[in-house]
Amino acid sequence: MFKIKKFERGLGIARKRRQYDLPLNKGNGGNFLKLLIALMTFLAMLGVASIFALSAMTDRWSSGLENKATIEIPAKDNSGTVFEQSHMDTLQDQVFNFLQNYPAVDTVEVMDKEEIKSLVAPWLGEGLSYDNIPLPGILTISFKDDVIFDTDALENKLKTFAPQIRLDTHQSWLADVLRFTGALNFAAVLITIVIGITTIVAVAGAVQSRMAIYHEELELLHLMGAEDSYISRQLQRYVLILSLQGAAIGTAIGGLIMFMVGLLAGEMDISLLPDFHLSIMQIFLLICLPLLVALLGMVTARQTVLRVLAQMP
Amino acid sequence: MIKFEHVGLRYGVGPEILSDVNFTLDQGSFHFLSGPSGAGKTSLMSLMYLGRRPTRGIVSMFGQNVGQMGRHDLKKIRQRIGVVFQDFRLLNHMSAFDNIALPLRIMGESEKEIKANVDELMEWVGLGDHRHQLPNTMSGGQQQRIAIARAVITRPRLLLADEPTGNLDDEIGLRLMNLFDQLNRMGTTIVIASHNTLLMEKFSQHSRLILDKGQLRLIHPRKTIKQKLEGIF
């Protein structure tokens, strides 16, 4: 069948199916546009995936830490003298009772020795005996949602039991971490926007160059009284088809890369990083991405054609 | 129907190609446009098919001043004009059939209507066996016939043809002139730019527009002058 068609074209016989009025399928301009869209879709996919990953990271780090605080009762006083265990227990009970009755506090939990050991084990080693090592007392509290309170005032009151007691609301380090991930997220959004703008500029440039190449044919249609929408529809359709093809290629490559990154991240077992699982909504958005890119290409083509045609007499 | 009042045209800052051109063409009239090379025939034609805007003066088409018309209305005017370009301007990636069908598709005609009209006209101009042929594989004469068929397929109110019989043999040339005549009798105004004095002699009943150095003269047909003389004496 293919050979017959090629033979017919060799004889100067046109295809039976109607072509565009402009010779858009001639030359390699279409392949360039397709490749460009594939690259842009791939980059946009990575950009959007980065946004999702950073959001997941931020959620993981901030979830469970809001409205919570940790109270540390060091095992030695300011001069370095280690407290007796009985003193530590008394101090811990006093603080516990105080916090239970404190209006802004919702729940109080005392962390047992085993939990504290497991917390310090990564720094001090697994096989160590903790019998002779003074471990601090740690209490975790959660605050009531609807009560506004002053953490400094609470810390000052806690210091009346022992001046070395520390109240850690996680806000200081969490704010830094969240600011950092927020900046990364912003950068990812910015990069995605830049990719979008680059796509618009590149498609507009490609369409303009095609229009310059086929200026005579365009002028002919114009002189025959073709409406601008009639001409732009053809270029829109052409760009939409190329964009969909390019976007499908870009999505396939992007999806493959993401899958491989997911596999590698799973093997590395980095506890600080979140598991990269996409929600249904995120998968839906990623599926929509190539369609959005194709739509962007089509709208850009339309606007470019209309702008160029408006310059004709 | 077509009225040029003090029309001038220049390209960029160069001298005027057309200067102070004044004429009126009535609906259903037939004219030859002649003049030496470089006299401005193609420029005048481009003003008539609205391919350019004059640098001065007023151009009125079908009773409307085109200088005051909106973009959409200009498209409608252009759809009433058929043009046969000197270099044909055929679309070589499309078949002869699709080339001729193009103006009808632009006007939004149905495919059924298009097929019936184009098939009939292709038979008439002797291209019935070349429907699916690409224009660039056809002879100059065949290409010219496609160009003419494309210009007349919509039965335009104004037909402008630049050397339409230049590449044709006498028989086909005469046949196409008869087609123009037939269209003219149906009310189409015809303007043919030509160097062919023999052709103009053969169809001497039509008036001649003579362009020289950017100025236009209108010579009425001999028959009309004779009739006028008869009326006087």
pLDDT digits (tens, 9 = 90+) for B141-199: 889 889 999 999 999 999 999 888 766 677 777 777 887 888 898 889 999 998 877 77
CB A277 within 8 A of CB A64: no
Whether B55 and chain A come into contact, CB under 8 Å, resolves to no
> SS3 of A22, please?
coil
Residue listed under structure tokens 């009798």? B185
CB B219 within 8 A of CB B210: yes
Asked whether residue A1 carries a pLDDT value surpassing 50, the answer given is no
Inspect the interface and report whether the beta carbons of B94 and A14 lie closer than 8 Å.
Answer: yes
Q: Which of B78, B83, B106 minimises the CB distance to A230?
A: B106
CB B77 within 8 A of CB B50: yes
Per-residue confidence band for B206, with pLDDT thresholds at 50, 70 and 90:
confident
pLDDT score for A267? 67
Burial of residue A110 (number of CB atoms within 10 Å: 0-12, 13-18, 19+)? middle
Per-residue confidence band for A272, with pLDDT thresholds at 50, 70 and 90:
low
Per-residue confidence band for A126, with pLDDT thresholds at 50, 70 and 90:
low
The chain B residue lying nearest A214, using CA atoms, is B91
Q: What is the Cα Rg of chain B in Å?
A: 18
Judged by average pLDDT, the poorest of A116-120, A178-182, B81-85 is A116-120
Q: From CA A258, how far away is CA A276, in angstroms rounded? A: 9
Whether A312 and chain B come into contact, CB under 8 Å, resolves to no
Whether B91 and chain A come into contact, CB under 8 Å, resolves to yes
The dihedral built from the CA positions of residue B21, B23, B25 and B26, taken in this order, carries a sign that is: positive
Inspect the interface and report whether the beta carbons of A14 and B83 lie closer than 8 Å.
Answer: no
Rounded average pLDDT over B196-225 = 76
Alpha carbon of B204: minimum distance to chain A alpha carbons (Å): 30
The backbone torsions φ and ψ at residue A255, rounded to the nearest 5 degrees and listed phi first, read -60, -40
Neighbours of A100 (CB within 10 A): 11
Per-residue confidence band for B14, with pLDDT thresholds at 50, 70 and 90:
confident
pLDDT in tens, B32-45: 998 888 888 889 99
Neighbours of B55 (CB within 10 A): 15
Q: Which residues of chain B does A311 touch, with a Cβ-Cβ cutoff of 8 Å? A: none
Inspect the interface and report whether the beta carbons of B71 and A14 lie closer than 8 Å.
Answer: no
Neighbours of B62 (CB within 10 A): 16
pLDDT score for A7? 52
Residues A169, A173, A175: CA angle, nearest 5 degrees: 90
Q: From CA A213, how far away is CA A60, in angstroms rounded? A: 54
Q: Which residues of chain B does A217 touch, with a Cβ-Cβ cutoff of 8 Å? A: 91
pLDDT score for B179? 79
Q: From CA A159, how far away is CA A153, in angstroms rounded? A: 10
pLDDT score for A263? 80
Alpha carbon of B53: minimum distance to chain A alpha carbons (Å): 7
Per-residue confidence band for A52, with pLDDT thresholds at 50, 70 and 90:
confident
Q: From CA A139, how far away is CA B191, in angstroms rounded? A: 100
- Residue A220: which residues within 8 A CB-CB, separation 6 or more? B89, B91
The chain A residue lying nearest B77, using CA atoms, is A225
Residue among A33, A95, A77 at smallest CA distance from A238: A33
Q: Which residues of chain A does B50 touch, with a Cβ-Cβ cutoff of 8 Å? A: 223, 313
Q: Which residues of chain A does B79 touch, with a Cβ-Cβ cutoff of 8 Å? A: 224-225
Burial of residue A7 (number of CB atoms within 10 Å: 0-12, 13-18, 19+)? exposed
Inspect the interface and report whether the beta carbons of B77 and A230 lie closer than 8 Å.
Answer: no
Q: Which residue stretches of chain B are H helix?
A: 41-48, 71-79, 96-106, 111-124, 140-152, 170-185, 197-202, 222-232
Whether A14 and chain B come into contact, CB under 8 Å, resolves to yes
Residue bearing the bigger pLDDT, A116 or A41: A41
Task: Give percent above pLDDT 70 in chain A.
Answer: 85
Q: Which residues of chain B does A228 touch, with a Cβ-Cβ cutoff of 8 Å? A: 71
pLDDT in tens, A154-170: 888 888 888 888 888 87
Asked whether residue B132 carries a pLDDT value surpassing 80, the answer given is yes
Residue among B228, B233, B226, B211 at smallest CA distance from B36: B211
Asked whether residue A65 carries a pLDDT value surpassing 70, the answer given is no
Alpha carbon of A307: minimum distance to chain B alpha carbons (Å): 13
The chain A residue lying nearest B91, using CA atoms, is A217
> SS3 of A37, please?
helix
Q: Which residues of chain B does A232 touch, with a Cβ-Cβ cutoff of 8 Å? A: none
So what's the ipTM on this one?
0.86
CB B49 within 8 A of CB B80: no
Residue count (chain A) = 313
Q: How many CB pairs under 8 A join A and B?
A: 71
Q: Which of A18, A25, A227 minimises the CB distance to B75?
A: A227
Alpha carbon of A297: minimum distance to chain B alpha carbons (Å): 25
| Mutation choice for B interface testing from A223, A228, A233, A309 by most B CBs within 10 A | A223
pLDDT score for B61? 92
Q: Parallel, antiparallel, or unpaired for β B56-61 and B2-10?
A: antiparallel
> SS3 of A32, please?
helix
Task: Give percent above pLDDT 90 in chain A.
Answer: 13
Q: Which of A18, A219, A225 minimises the CB distance to B79?
A: A225
CB B225 within 8 A of CB B30: no
Residue among A263, A295, A286 at smallest CA distance from A52: A286
Asked whether residue A60 carries a pLDDT value surpassing 80, the answer given is no
